Structure 1
Amino acid sequence: MGLSVFIVRHGNTFAAGEPARRIGAATDLALVDSGVVQAEALGLAFARGGIGFDRALAAPLLRTRSTIGGILAQQPAALLVEPADWLTEIDHGPDEARLESEVIDRIGEPALARWDHAAEAPDGWIVDAERRIAGWRDLFATAEGHVLIVTSNGAARFALLADPALQHQAASLPSLKLRTGAYGVIERDTDGLRLAAWDVRP
């Protein structure tokens, strides 16, 4: 049996026009109304595409749990959500809850670019990349069927670094980021792992 992993970033936690801030593991925000709509749209898109999930995993934050709940509400059968601490958002350290402009003032544009394109964490951020990559590798090696994962932008990118073939394919992406309410798909067959989609919004 093959594997298709659907990696979803949680929905919006800021309303339109509200200044964006760096929110990580230390701040447990709820989805705003547009984020709830994003979760519902993801669920409808998967259901209409005939995708039935065999497993569901989520980071233990309100925004991720609410997003996966909205997606699974569109599935024909109830599915237990498995917790996975390696999916939890990163710790932004001194930049937690700061405006994006303030973060750039502290770390500089080049450091932020290295984070978005190579997952190199800026000074002061606690990422624990090895643990995250190990979690993705274990999932890719052992899981079967259709697996739904809802996590954060900081954690999702490490899926692309968990395998040489994925790293090679990800090198052509404009960024490792997932937008809120967007998803990627990584598939495994007899030839190995393949990046089937990234940063797709329904």
Structure 2
Amino acid sequence: MPDLVILRHGNTFDKGDAVLRVGAGTDLPLSGSGREQADAVGRALAERFGGFSRIFAAPLKRTMETARRVCAAQDAPPAIETEESLTEIHYGPDEGKPEEEVVARIGADALAAWEESAAPPPGWRVDPAALTGSWRAFFEKLAGGPGPVLAVTSNGVARFALAAADEKDGDFPQKLKTAAYGVVRIGPGGGARVVAWNLRN
């Protein structure tokens, strides 16, 4: 049964920067601290898993750069495969806006519902059923193949892997911290069990 490691990209903002709501329409590279995070998690993943048989990443600067930095810690990494289904959601009218403006528009309760139960606020371009289905299709694609496998994505998309899994070894939070990862064990028929979530080492 291959292990799928789902990794969120590193920081796109550093201390003192104005933090924006970054989605599919805001293609930022990693910040200085984000590059350090990606290097650190790359070393941690190399120590825990050795080499990856396949590495997938969403086609955004921050996800591709994170994947490249993880590859740098591997002895003989495979080529990075672009995976569109891992691309972050679009935050609609809140895309690229400062967080205080986002909260002012949708309210703290709506933002909390997103963080706690993946319920999209009004106006965000996100289809929970479609994203859950995309993860299930991805699990099926990997079933029976070699492992471990790495998928680098963003927080808005990663959380739906929890909904797509058949089993979870705990009551995991929806959110992945930057440069944190989860581990999903893929069964022969594409069934999935989340065995860890929100790890950095």
So what's the TM-score if we normalise by structure 2?
A: 0.91
Give 1:137 shift: 0.6
Structure 1 stretch displaced more, 98-107 or 191-200: 191-200
Q: Is the 8 A contact 1:6 1:147 kept in 2?
A: yes
Q: Write the distance in 2 (CA, Å) between the matches of 1:85 and 1:164.
A: 23
Q: What residue number does 2:132 align with?
A: 133
Counterpart for residue 25 of structure 2: 26
Equivalent runs, 1:113-152 vs 2, <5 Å: 113-143=112-142, 144=145, 145-152=147-154
Find the counterpart in structure 2 of residue 15 from structure 1.
14
Q: CA separation in 2, counterparts of 1:198 and 1:46? A: 14
Is the counterpart of residue 44 in structure 1 residue 46 in structure 2? Answer: no
Structure 1 runs, 4 residues or longer, greater than 4 Å off: 189-192
TM-score normalised by structure 1 residue count = 0.91
5 Å-filtered alignment, 1:104-183, equals 104-143=103-142, 144=145, 145-166=147-168, 172-173=171-172, 175-183=173-181
Q: Which runs of 5+ in 1 are unaligned?
A: none
Q: Provide structure 2 residue ranges, at least 5 long, that are not aligned to the other structure.
A: none
For 1:108-152, what per-residue CA distance to the aligned partner results, in whole angstroms no more than 9, with x for missing partners? Answer: 111111111211111000013333222211222231321101000
SS at match of 1:70: helix
* AA aligned opposite 1:70: R
Shift of 1:189: 4.2
Q: In 2 relative to 1, CA 152–50 (structure 1 residues): closer, same or farther, beyond 3 Å?
A: closer
Identity of aligned residues (%): 46
Give, in whole Å, the separation in 2 of the partners of 1:95 and 1:125. 8
The separation in 1 between residues aligned to 2:187 and 2:81, in whole angstroms, is 24
Between Structure 1 and Structure 2, how many residues are aligned? 197
- The answer to whether the Cα contact below 8 Å between 2:49 and 2:148 also exists between their aligned partners in 1 is no
Q: How far off its partner does 1:48 sit? A: 1.8
SS across alignment from 2:159: helix
The 2-side partners of 1:201 and 1:33 are apart by 18
Deviations 1:9-46 (A, max 9, x none): 00110011223210111111011111111111111111
Q: 1:108 to 1:125 in 2, by over 3 A?
A: same
SS at match of 1:49: helix
SS of equivalent to 1:26: coil
Contact 2:166 2:193 (8 Å CA) reproduced: no
CA distance in 2, matches of 1:83, 1:112: 30
